[in-house]
Structure 1
Amino acid sequence: MLDSSVVFVGRDGMNFDVNSDLIVALPSGFINGEQVVNAQYPNFKFYHGTSNEDCLKAIRDKKADVMLQNMYIIRECLQSPLYEGIAIFPAFSFPEEEKIIALPEDKLLMSIINKSIKMITQDETNDIVINHTIGKGYHADFKEILYKYRFPLIGVVILLIALFSLLIIISGIRQRNLKAIEKVNKKLETAVIQADRANNAKSQFLSRMSHEIRTPMNAIVGLTEIAKRYEEDPHKIDDYLDKISISSKVLLNIINDVLDMSAIENNKLKIINEEFDIKQILSSISTIYYAQCKSKEIHFDMIADIQNEYLRGDALRVSQILLNLVSNAYKFTKSGGKISIIIRETECHNEKAVLQFVVSDTGCGMTDDMKSRIFKPFEQESANTAKEHGGSGLGLSIAKNLISMMGGTISLESEKDKGTTFTVELTFAVVKPAEAEKNTSDEQKIADLHILVVDDDKKTSAYTSTILSRLGVSFETAQSGDEALSMLKTKRDEHPFSLCLINWEMADMNGAYVLKQIRDDQENEKMKVIILSYDANEIQDEAAGADCFVSKPLFQSTLQNALLTMMNSEYAENKTANTQYDFTGHRILLAEDQPLNAEIAIALLAMVNMESDHAENGRIAVRKFCDAPPGTYDVILMDMQMPELNGYEATKEIRALDRPDAKEIPIYAMTAEAFTEDIEAALKAGMNGHIAKPIDTKVLYETLKKEIILKDLHQKEGDL
C-alpha cells in the first residue's frame, strides 16, 4: 500500500560499526524490527523502551547506541529540541511496506478499502505523506523550548543573576559610601563646629588676654610714672612698688598659663622626677592664700594628714596644680565664704604613697553644662565670668592635663550657688630622709609630755590629736578657751599639763585671750605654750607670751621638731623663722648678655651683700673663671642664649677645665627658657639646676644659700 524504510538513528558523530556490540533501542511492540536486526546484525543487543520518546532518551543518555524505527515516524520525533544531537544514519536502512490487514470475515470491508486505495494516485499519495509527516509543522511545548534554548537561557539567567548581584553589590557599596560620606560629613560638620567654637573661644581668649595683660601692664606703667613723682616719700614709693610687684606676678602667671598650655598641646611639657618636701609646697600655698582670704574675709583652712612628707615627683607641677585649684576657689568665693584644703595620705605600700588633695569652696558653684566643659581650654561659664572674675580660662585645663601626665585622677562635685569640691589623687615614691632615724631619748622626752590641745574646730582638733597619738604623746582636748582654762585648773593637782597647744583663730575666745589668762595665772608660770597660726609675723606682738610659734598647716615632723626643741630648752624667747639673707664675703660669676637683665641681677644680688662679676657672653665667662684663683666664685649664674658662646657650651668648657673647682662649682641656668626640656638640656650640659626668668628673689636667694651652706660643709670636712 505504502513503501517506506526503517532506519537507524544515533548520536551525531557516532561511528556506526556493524561489527561492534551496539545496543539497539526498540519501542515496545516493534517485533519485526528485532527480527530484522537479529538477522542482519546478530552481535547487536537490545534496549526495549516503552515508546519512541523513551528510546530516543536512552540514546541521549547513552543507555543505548542506536534506535531502529520507520523513517516517517522518526523524522517527526527528531523535530523535538529534546533530541538535538540525534540523527538518521541513511546508509543503514531496510525497506518496509505498509499494509492494512483485516479478518477473513471482513472481505467486503477490505474490498472497499482496496478499491479506495487504488483510486489514489501516486501524487496524491505523496501529498498525503508529506502533509502528515514533513509538511506537518512540529509544535514544541514550553518544556521543549526551554530545553532547546537551555544554554542561552542559562547564560541569560547567570547574566541576570550576575547583574542582580552586581546591582546589590553596587547598592551596598553605594549605601556604605553614602554612610561613609554621611559620617565624614558629620565629622566635618562637628569639626567645623568645633573649629568655630575653638576660633570663637580663641577670639574670646585673645580678647580676654588683651584685657588681662593690659590691666597689670597699665598698673605697672601707671604706678611707675606715679612713683617717680614721689621720690621723697618712701611710704608711697613702697606702696607703689608693692602694687607693681603684685601686677608683675599677675602678668607672669598669665604668660605662664599660655606657655604651659602651648607646651601641653605640642607635647613639649614633661614631668620630672626628683625628691621634694611636700611641706614646703603646702606651706607656700597656705602663706599665699591665707593672707588673701583674710583680706577678702574668707575663712581659710588647710589640714595635711600626711605621714610621709619626703616624696619623689615633680614638685613644681604639684604646686601648680594646687595653686590653680585654690586660685579657682578663691576667685569664685565671696566674702563670708569658706575655702577648705584637705590633704590625706590614703594608702602607702611598696614605698608608694597615694595622696588625696581635696579643695572645697562655698562659692557660686557650676551648672551641669559648665561641669562638662570645665577642663577644656579657654572655657568659662560666660563672658561676664571673665569680666567679673578675670583669668585666662586655662588654669583648670592645665591642672587636668598635668594630673593625667602624672598618672593621677581628678573629679569634681558642684552645685549651683552652693559650692564646688575638686578631688585629686596622685601617687608618689616615698623618700626616707637620712635624719629620720629615731633618737630614743628624744622619743622619751616627748612621751613624758602631757599636752592640752585648745581648738574650737573639730576637724583640726581631731587632726592634731591624730598627730600626737602617732608621736605617742599623752594629750587632752578643749573645744573652747573657757574649757581650756577650766581644765588647766582641775587637772593641776591630778595630772598637770606640761604644754598647751593653742589654735590662734577661735570664735568665742581667741588665742590671745587664752594666752593672757594662762600667763596671768602664776600657777602656770612654767607652762609651755605653742601657738598654731597661719601667719606668725601677724600675731607676734599679741602673742608675746608664747614660747613658740608653729605655722599652719600643721605637719607631724614640724610639731615633733617643735616639741623636741622646746624640751631641749632651745627656746629662751619666742622665735620666728629668719628669712633674712646675708651673703657677705661671697662672690658669684654672672654670665648675661642683656645689659638690663644684668643690671637687675647685680642689684638683686647686691641687696643681700653678694658680690658679683659680670661677663657679657659665654666666652668671657669662661675666661674670667680661668683667670680667677680656685675658690673665688661660690656659684656661676649662666644665661643660655648669648653671642660667641652660649650657656650650654660655656658650661661644658668650664667642666672640662683641669682645675680642682671646675667640676664642683655650682652652675645654674638663669634663663627665660623654662620648659622641662630646657631644664633637662641644662642638666645634661653639666649645670646643677635652673632659675627661671623673671627672677623670683626667694628662689634665687634660697638656691645661693643652699649652695654656700654645702660649700662650707665640704670645707669643714676637708679641714678635718
Structure 2
Amino acid sequence: MDSLLPVSPDLLNAAQAHERIQALEQELRQVRAEARTVEARLGQLVNHLQEGILLTDHTGHIALVNERFCALWELEEPADYWLGRRWEEMAAVMLPLAADSVMFEQRVHALRAAGQPVFNELIELQDGRVLERDFVPVRQIDGLNARTLIRLRDATEYQRATEQLRAVASIPGQNPNPIFRIDADGQVLYSNTAANVLHASLEEKDQNRLFTKAQRLAAAALSQNTPWQVDVPVGASFYAVFVAPFPEEGYANLYLVNITKRMLAEQELNHAKDEAEAAVRARENFLANMSHEIRTPMNGVLGMAAQLGKTRLDTRQQDLLRIIRTSGQHLLSIINDVLDMAKITSGKLEFEQTAFNLCDSMNEALQPLMHQAIEKGITVSGTLLKESCPLPWVLGDPYRINQILINLMANAVKFTERGGHINVVGRQVDSTPETLTVEFAVTDTGIGIPESQRARIFEGFTQAYADTTRHFGGTGLGLSISRAIVEQLNGVLTVESEVGKGSTFRFQLALPRTPAVVEAPAMSSYNTGALHGRRVLLVEDNQINRDVARMLLEEWGVVVDEAENGQQGVDMYQQQLYDAVLMDIQMPGMSGLDATAIIRQLPDARQANVPILALTANAFRADNARYLAAGINACLAKPFEEAELYQELKNLLQEPNTPAVTTLSYDLTKLRALSHGREAFVGKIIRSFLANVPVSIAQLEAAAASGDWQQVAALVHHIKPGIESLGVREVAGALQQLEQLETGHGTEARPLHEAVARLVAQVKRALHELRQELPANS
C-alpha cells in the first residue's frame, strides 16, 4: 500500500491563516452589528427631537433627515424618501414656501459657498410662520470631507413673544419673562417680578454670575449703541438675553427668555454625535488592525512561496506552490476590497495625480483577465482606445482608473459561461486642449441582472442573486467600489441588462491632459547590482518576515544585521554605521516611529540622516503620510514584491550626485506641464511664491511656537497649493499631518513641532533655490 503524502508546512500555515481570517471576519461582523446599533439609536433619538435636523455629506447628498424637519417645511414626502437624494431636490420643493423665494435661494447658495457657521437665522414663510435655522459645516474625522448640518426650529411663537416683549416694554412689571434695567455704571435700576423670582431661585454664586454677565452685556450695548442677543447659562437653565440700549437715558434693558428645552435637545444631539464618531473610529481601528494581522502573515506566506519557487521542484510540487501563491493573492485582493470599501464609507478613498498613458495602462490591466476568459472558453473582442484617441496622456490615478475596468471585466468573466462572448470598447468622446473625455463599455452574454436588482448591485456587500457567492464567489464589493471611484472622478457608471442575455456596463471620465512623459526602457532584470556590498539594518519583530527579507537582501549581495524590536534596533544602530534601515512600524515595546525619532535626533549627522524604509502592514495612505512626517523616507506595504523592495532600496541608496537624483528641493515638471511650454507663466507662479510664502512661513512658525494648531492647519491649507505646484520635495507627509489639525485629530505636540520644522526647512531651501529659475532681469 502506498504511504500517505506528508502535509506541507506551507499548507499548514495557509490553514492557520484561514482560521485566523475566519476569526477576524467574526470580529468584523460584531463591530458592524455594534455600529448598526449606534446608528439605530441615533436615528431614534433624532426622530424624537423637537428640532428639524438635516445632514448632507461631502457629495451634496442627504445623509440624515428627521420627520420633524419635513414637518416644519410641510413636505408631503416622509424623511425616508429624501435619504440619499441631493439637497438641491429638497431645496426646489422648499423654494415656493418661502415668503421671498429669490432671497431664500440666494441665501442657501451663499451659506454653502461660504462654509461658515450661522446660527439663529430667521426664515419667513408665506403662511406666516417663522423658522429659525442654524447652518453648521461639520468636519469628518479625517478633516477632508465636509458635511453640512442644518438645525431647524419653529420660531413663530418665539418671534411673537419677542414682539410682545417689545410691545409691553412700557409695562415690564406685567411681563412673565425676567427683565433687568442696568445703567452705565453697572447699577441695577429696575427688575420686574419675574426677574426677582429668578434671582431668588438661584444660589449666591449663580446670582453673582448672572449679574456680572448682565453688567457686561449692558456696558457693551451702551458703548456701541447696538442691541445684542446672546444665549447664557443661568444656574441649571439657559436663557436667551435680548439687550436693548438706551444711550440717551443712560441705561440698557435686558429681556430674558427661557430656552432650556432647546439647549438640552442640542446637547442630546451632540452626545449622539460623539457616539456615532466613536463607532466610526472603532471600525477604522479594527480595519487597521485587521490589515496588519492579515498582511503580516501573508508577507511570510507569499515571500516564502517566492523563495520556494526558486528551488528545484517536481511537477506536483510546482502545482502545490502555484495553488499557495494563487490563494494568497486572492486572499490579498479580498482584504484590499474590504479596506477600499471602508475607505469609501469613511470618505477616505485616496487618489494620486500622476502622468500616464491611458491606452497603455488600461490595455495592460486587462491582459490577465482576457487570458482568464480565453482559458474559460469565452471569446473576447474589443475596440482599443488608441484607435480613436491619438493623444492618450492624462493626469490622474492609473491604479484607481484601472480598478474600475478590471472589476467590470472580472464580473463579465465570472458571470459568463463557457461558449459565451465578452466585448470591451474604449473610445474618445470629446477632446479639448485641456481635457480628454473617454468612454469604456464592457458587454457580456452572461446571466444578466433582473430590473428589480439593478440598483442594489451597486451597494456594498450586495449581489443580484442570493446564491451568487456560492455559485460564482466574490464579496459583492467590486461594483460598489467602481461606482465610488467613477463618482469621485465626476463620472457616471451605468448598467443595461436582460436576464439570460447578458449585461453592459459603461462609464465616462473627463481627465486633464498632460504632455507625454518619456519612459525609461524596461530592464530585463531588476537586480542591477546597485545594492551589492551595502550594509542594512533590518528591524522586524516577526521571525518569518525577517527570514523573507534577509533571503532577498542576501541574494542581492546586501550585508544584513537583524534586530527583533525597536530598542534592540536603536542599540545596534548606534554601534555600527549602516547604509539604510528597514523598519517595521508596529512592534512591541518601542515602535518603529519611536525608533526613527531617536535615530533622527542622534548628534552625528551621517547617522541621523540614514535612509529609513518603513515595511508596514497598514494599507491606509493617511498612515503613510504620518510615517513620512515622522522622518521615514519611504513606505512599502506588506506583502511586497521582490522588485518593489529592490527599487525602493536602490532609490534611497543612490548617491546624491548621480544623474538619477537631483540635489534641488523642488521639481517644476508638473508646473511646466500645466503651462504648456509658457515660461512666462512659470516665472509668474515662481515670483508669486517668492513674494507671498515667506510671510505665511513666518506666521506658521509663530503659530506653532504658541501651540495654536488650528491656525497652523489654516496656514498649511493656504500655502499647500503653491507648495504642490512647485514640487517642493519630501513634505507631503508633513502637509497632510498638519492640515488635518483643523478637525482636532492631530497627534502629540512633539511630532507636530517636528513636522512644522521639516516643512519650514524644506520650503525655505526651495525659496532660496527657486530664485535661480527666474531670468536675471526678473
**TM-score tier after normalising by the smaller chain length:** 0.3 to 0.5
Q: Of the two structures, which has the highest relative contact order with CA contacts closer than 8 Å and spacing of 6 or more?
A: 2
When normalised by structure 1's length, the TM-score is: 0.44
When normalised by structure 2's length, the TM-score is: 0.41
